[in-house]
Structure formats: structure tokens, C-alpha cells
């Protein structure tokens, strides 16, 4: 019986791995640089958040609110029961229960997904709430995995991990400002209308992001060795994307989605590998 359940669990985790590989080559690359013991748990977290995000951003011809509510109910049912016939939710509940991931983090994440169903403009408070739920808590879930039950370590690294999530999400908002507005009618930055997004607004946003990146690095260097290189790789990738965006005029950002070419991603991977190997982090 135990062996059969292990097979089911491992198969479900492999499903989450497949989802991650299909949806994000960059995230998959980052996971592969983590210690192997972290791979499947982080894939499970990504699979969960990816599918919730797909509900609100992709399933346009379906009852999104109903689907999200069902997903939410099934999530908590799986966590309580310790099992689900949905491979993504079975993987996620296993990680939540194994690493004692705070249910408040899950609540906040699902609340942000609900906000995406109706909100198109955000106040300062709404902006902070959305970023916390959509990005910061995902980093905190991963941090629970990295700390492996060491709560004092988790508490020490909690705020820098939140800053990293903030930086990533705000860079995403800048990168996707065109598609978010044109395809979904959303502008996440408070007090900024898409038509009026200009150099001054862009500079204020970038200064805020730069502070988040700086604070995040303070925590990355203190992560367990097996997690440090992978998180640093994600940090460096997003920092490169941020720098590419920051040197371009606001009008350019409103017209195209800025990317980091694959050859530059490879260069970042090689660079972070040597920085980690020679203890330059």
C-alpha cells in the first residue's frame, strides 16, 4: 500500500514538473540549478500557481469565477484529506503538509487570483495586497521548502524573500503593461493610466523596484547552499530584464514586450554558476 501511494505521489509530482517545463523554460532552468531534493516540491508549487493563473487569464469562454471557486474548494479539501484525484492538487497538498506551509499564504494567493477577475485599476492598498498575494507568498512557500522546518531561518529570510517577489512581479507589470491593458483592461500601477504612462511615472516605478532588488539580495546570500544558486539565477535574470526595460523610453514599453534573449540567459547561467562555485555570492 505504501509503495503504491509513493508511486501515485511521484507520478503527480512529475505532472507538476511537466506543467512547469511546458509553461516556463526560465523557471525550469532555475529549478534545475537547485539541489535535487528541492526540485519536485518547487515544481508542485509552480504547478498549483500556474493552473490558478490560467483560470483567470486564459479560460475566457468559461465561468472563471465558478472554476476558481471550485479550484479553491478542491485545494482545501485536498490539504485536509491529504489526497486528491487532481494530480496538481495532490502534489501541492503533499508539499503544504510536508513543509507546513502556512494556509494564510494560500488564502492570500487565491484572493489575488479573485481580484484579477474584477479589478482593472488599483489603489495603493489594493496594489500592495495584490502583489503580496500573487508573488510574495509564492516566494514564501518556496522559502518554507528551502528552510526544511528551520523556522528561525525562515523568519530571518522572510522579508528579503518578500522583496524578491515584489521585484519580480513589478518587473512583470512593466514588461506586460501593453498586453495587460490591451487584452485584459488592467493597469496594476496605482494612479497610472496606460495612455498617460510616461518617463516620470516609469522612473518612479523603477526606483521602487531597485530598492526591492537591493533588499532581496541581502536574503539570497543567506539561503541554504542548495537553494542559493537557483534563486540567485532567477534574481540575475530578472535584474537583466529590469535593466533592459529601464534604458528604454516609456513609449517603447507600451508598444512591445521586452525579453532577455536565450544567449543572454545562457550567459547569466554560466556567470551565476561560477559565482556560486567560487563563493562570490
pLDDT at 1 over 70: no
> Do 68 and 117 meet the contact criterion of CB atoms below 8 Å apart?
yes
**Residue 162 main-chain phi, psi, to 5 deg:** -65, -40
65 alpha-carbon distance from chain centroid? 22
| pLDDT attached to residue 264 | 76
Local structure of residue 231 (DSSP, 8 states):
H
Q: 236: how many CB neighbours lie within 10 A of its CB?
A: 19
263 band by pLDDT with thresholds 50, 70 and 90: confident
Model confidence pLDDT, tens digit, residues 107-119:
999 999 999 998 7
Residue 272 CA to residue 281 CA, distance in Å, equals 9
Residue 121 pairs with which residues in a beta bridge?
187
Nearest to 170 by CA among 107, 110, 122, 218: 122
Residue-wise pLDDT tens digits, 44-64: 999 999 999 999 989 989 999
- Residue in this structure with the C-alpha cell 494560500, named with its chain if needed: 106
Beta bridge partners of 247: none
What is residue 261's predicted lDDT score, i.e. its pLDDT? Answer: 79
Q: Determine contact, residues 213/157, Cβ cutoff 8 Å.
A: no
**pLDDT class of 83 with cuts at 50, 70, 90:** very high
DSSP 3-state of 259: coil
Q: Let me know the angle formed at the C-alpha of 109 by 108 and 110, rounded to the nearest 5 degrees.
A: 95
Mean pLDDT of 255-260: 88
Q: Largest Cα–Cα distance in the chain?
A: 63
Q: Helix (H, G, I), strand (E, B), or coil: what is residue 197?
A: coil
DSSP state of 133: I
CB 242 within 8 A of CB 165: no
3-state helix, strand, coil in the chain (%, to 5): 80, 0, 20
- The set of residues, in sequence order, having a beta carbon less than 8 Å from that of 68 and lying 6+ positions away, is 52, 55, 56, 110, 113, 114, 117
Question: Cβ contacts of residue 101 below 8 Å, gap of 6+?
Answer: 95, 141, 144
pLDDT number for residue 2: 57
Residue 20 C-alpha cell reads as 512547469
Domains (ranges, CATH) in the chain? 150-281 (1.10.600.10)
| Residue with the three cell numbers 554558476 | 273
Amino acid at each position: 500500500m505504501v509503495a503504491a501511494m509513493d508511486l501515485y505521489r511521484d507520478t503527480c509530482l512529475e505532472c507538476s514538473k511537466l506543467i512547469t517545463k511546458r509553461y516556463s523554460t526560465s523557471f525550469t532552468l532555475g529549478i534545475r540549478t537547485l539541489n535535487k531534493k528541492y526540485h519536485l516540491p518547487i515544481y508542485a508549487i509552480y504547478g498549483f500557481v500556474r493552473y490558478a493563473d490560467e483560470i483567470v487569464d486564459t479560460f475566457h469562454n468559461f465561468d472563471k469565477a465558478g472554476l476558481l471557486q471550485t479550484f479553491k474548494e478542491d485545494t482545501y479539501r485536498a490539504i485536509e484529506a491529504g489526497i486528491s484525484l487532481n494530480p496538481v492538487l495532490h502534489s501541492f497538498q503533499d508539499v503544504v503538509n510536508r513543509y507546513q506551509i502556512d494556509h494564510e499564504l494560500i488564502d492570500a494567493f487565491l484572493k489575488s487570483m479573485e481580484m484579477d477577475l474584477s479589478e482593472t485599476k488599483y489603489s495603493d492598498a489594493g496594489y500592495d495586497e495584490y502583489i503580496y498575494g500573487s508573488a510574495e507568498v509564492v516566494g514564501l512557500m518556496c522559502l518554507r521548502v528551502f528552510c526544511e522546518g528551520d523556522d528561525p531561518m525562515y523568519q530571518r529570510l522572510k522579508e528579503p524573500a518578500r522583496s524578491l517577489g515584489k521585484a519580480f512581479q513589478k518587473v512583470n507589470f512593466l514588461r506586460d503593461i501593453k498586453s495587460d491593458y490591451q487584452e485584459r483592461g488592467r493597469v496594476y500601477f496605482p494612479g497610472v493610466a496606460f495612455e498617460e504612462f510616461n518617463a516620470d511615472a516609469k522612473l518612479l516605478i523603477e526606483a521602487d523596484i531597485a530598492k526591492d532588488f537591493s533588499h532581496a539580495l541581502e536574503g539570497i546570500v543567506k539561503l541554504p547552499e542548495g537553494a542559493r544558486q537557483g534563486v540567485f539565477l532567477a534574481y540575475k535574470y530578472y535584474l537583466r530584464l529590469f535593466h533592459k526595460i529601464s534604458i528604454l523610453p516609456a513609449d517603447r514599453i507600451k508598444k512591445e514586450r521586452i525579453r532577455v534573449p536565450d544567449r543572454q540567459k545562457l550567459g547569466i547561467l554560466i556567470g551565476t554558476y561560477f559565482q556560486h562555485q567560487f563563493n562570490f555570492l
